[in-house]
Structure 1
Amino acid sequence: MKVEALFYEKFKDRVHCFLCPHNCVIEEGGFGKCNVRIHERGKLFTINYGEITSGALEPIEKKPLHYFKPHSYIFSVGSFGCNFTCDFCQNYTISQFRAKSEFISKKDLMETAVKLKNNIGIAFTYNEPAIWYEYVYDCARLLKEKKPHLKVVLVTNGYINEEPLDKLLHYIDAMNIDLKSFNDRYYKNLCGGSLKPVLKTIEKAAGVCHVEITTLLVSEKNDDLKEVESISKFLSSIDNNIPLHLSRYFPRYKFKNPPTDINFMKEAEAVGRKYLNRVVLGNIY
């Protein structure tokens, strides 16, 4: 469904989208870098409002959130599109392409979440929830107004500007944020983004809701103990109880590098534990 987007302004014969740090200036008929926000006749529209590509009731640990309502289940939904172009994307079929979807209204989504047995809320995941912003915001607000006991979770790359983040955080209970690297060149060359905005998101979110961090350790790219140490030091400077998930990479999408070495994963865990109280290895079994 196409609806008018939030967080944009007219800029001569173009529009300036300031939802995320790309700050795209879009010509008539063109899309932003996320490929879901289009300029038509002086207005910016989002084309993925309410468009669901995936949905499942899943363990909260799969998000991964190991320290937020452990052993519970949460209704997880996603759409299509992303503001990153990671060469190793695990969900590239929906993040990098317009996948088949089904429209579900915010009211129907809430009612589904309420009816599901043993469900604690809604998790916006699979693709990037930031560029699904209008729907995520509407659903989160409705859920908190009507069923405040249910939880709202974001699984995100953290690449969002501060104004939209502040507006959304009022309704968020927990976030898992991908901190893909502590190297801006890595972000630029492999992800199509930058590091600093993600660090700002982590700092701001950690003061408002429960936050856990995931770093995918990609063979021959960021499988470096100094990198893990830098990430761990940064997180500990905010709160040494922030959980860090160090996730093992497997070949995917455009990347054919071998899986991350298991021994390195264990060494990385030991480095992380020098600074953080909660370090979890993922994708190792």
Structure 2
Amino acid sequence: MIPESHRVLPTQYWHTLDDGRIQCDVCPRACKLREGQRGLCFVRGREDDQIMLYTWGRSSGFCIDPVEKKPLNHFLPGQPILSFGTAGCNLACKFCQNWDMSKSREMDTLADQALPEELAATAKQLGCIGIAYTYNDPVIFMEYAMDVADACHELGLKSVAVTAGYICAEPRAEFYRHMDAANVDLKGFTERFYKKICGGELAAVLETLEYLKHETDVWFEITNLLIPGENDSSAEIDAMTQWVVEHLGPDVPMHFSAFHPDWKMLDKPHTPPETLTRARDIALANGVRYPYTGNVYDTKGESTYCHNCGATLIERCWYTLGHWGLTDDGRCQQCHTPLPGVFNGPPGTWGPKRQMVRMHHRSTR
């Protein structure tokens, strides 16, 4: 008997084509599969004339991070969150910084198994605010992530998706009904960049961002990894930040993050800190109220300021919180202007540390 934590799960988002192939309808890649074939993500494939998920209950490892590392700066600051991912990905980013997991074609990468109830119970026992689905994109293991999210909510815990937003409309609506917060990786702002560097399409990601803003209550923030010579021009950053303000409003936080050479882009240099500062300045000039720099030491660029009176609301230094200028319900202590986000009393003190976690499994016999 196959243990429940190793099971292969039938999925629902697919349809049969006239030529006998089955098309996966989870993401815009629309992989068309014959019996025994896997999609580009590798974790969804055709078996017994349906699309199956092969990573339900299986993870590439667990650790506790500060929620700011997702990154989420306006969601229960300073608190720890249990993070995990699986194998595979539905994009093909040449700069992937988790390529050993996201590009894996070996199920042995999935060293840990855990049922949703076990994960939620572990997160609560360890004092975490919830669970983040990260390292690879949770949309490709959405059934597992949603089951974990349901188990979290039963215990009063939160669920956070760290995602590239590359998902079709129907599964997107179901997936985000289970999420409390998200960080969406807006990888660039040209179709050329998405096609050449990521193997995807920009338009689908923009649709996800607009959906999150206008049709859900999910708190979300945006990350833009700036790669020298690829997506870091002032013109592209200007166009991106103007689009964000026009379509999403001024209150969605944006994180401009530093690239380091990895995977298939080892020839590119590290992103200079001044590039991140320039991006932040452009965002501010275009009306983004909460732009941040990331992956560099920059207390000014990491900290949060009141858009009304300019007071420092949350001082940050490498995930460590300093001055706290918010009331318990998330208002500026000086002028009482609300800070958009999710706040609940004083901040946590988890800081920059990362704690590895081993799951303790109950018997499935």
TM-score (norm 2): 0.75
SS of the residue 1:273 aligns to: helix
Match of 2:126 in 1: 116
Letter of the structure 1 residue corresponding to residue 292 of structure 2: V
Tell me how far 1:227 sits from its aligned partner: 1.1
User: C-alpha deviations, 1:209-243, integer Å up to 9, x for none?
Assistant: 11100000001111111111111111111110100
Output aligned runs, 1:188-203, within 5 Å: 188-203=195-210
| Whole-Å separation in 2 of the counterparts to 1:73 and 1:226 | 37
Q: Answer yes or no: is the 8 Å Cα contact 2:83–2:131 preserved in 1.
A: yes
Equivalent in the alignment of 2:144? 135
Structure 1 stretches of 5 or more lacking a match?
A: none
Structure 1: 4+ residue segments shifted above 4 A: none
SS in 1 for 2:159: strand
Alignment correspondent of 2:50: 43
1:267 maps onto 2:278 in alignment: yes
**Which residue in 2 is equivalent to 1:23?**
30
Which digits, 9 at most, give the CA deviation of each residue in 1:167-214, with x for residues without a partner? Answer: 122221110000001101110111010001100111111232111000
Unmatched segments (≥5 aa) in structure 2: 1-5, 298-365
Question: Which residue among 125, 133, 136 is the counterpart of 2:134?
Answer: 125
1:7 to 13, 26, 36: 13
**1:14-60: CA deviations, max 9, x gaps?**
21110011111111111111111111231211111111112111100
Q: C-alpha displacement at 1:141, in angstroms?
A: 2.2
Q: Deviations over 1:74-129 (max 9, x none)?
A: 11111111001101001000000132422211121121122112x11111111110
Work out the CA distance in 1 between the residues paired with 2:209 and 2:177.
Answer: 15
Query: For residues 203-218 of structure 1, what are the structure 2 equivalents within 5 Å?
Result: 203-207=210-214, 208=216, 209-218=218-227
Greater relative CO (CA pairs within 8 A, separation 6+): 2
Q: Structure 2: how far apart are the matches of 1:205 and 1:13?
A: 35
Alignment: residue pair count: 282
Whole-angstrom CA distance in 2 between matches of 1:221 and 1:78: 28
* Counterparts of residues 246-257 of structure 1 (less than 5 Å): 246-256=256-266, 257=268
Q: Structure 1 CA distance, aligned partners of 2:200 and 2:170?
A: 18
Contact 2:61 2:112 (8 Å CA) reproduced: no
Q: Find the residue that maps to 1:272 and give its secondary structure.
A: helix
Matching residue within 155, 166, 171 for 1:164: 171
1:106 alignment partner in structure 2: 116
- Structure 1 position 240 matched with structure 2 position 250: yes
Once the two structures are overlaid, the 10-residue window that deviates more, 170-179 or 36-45, is 36-45
1:6, 1:59 → 2: CA distance? Answer: 34
Percent of aligned pairs sharing the same letter: 34
The structure that has the greater radius of gyration is 2
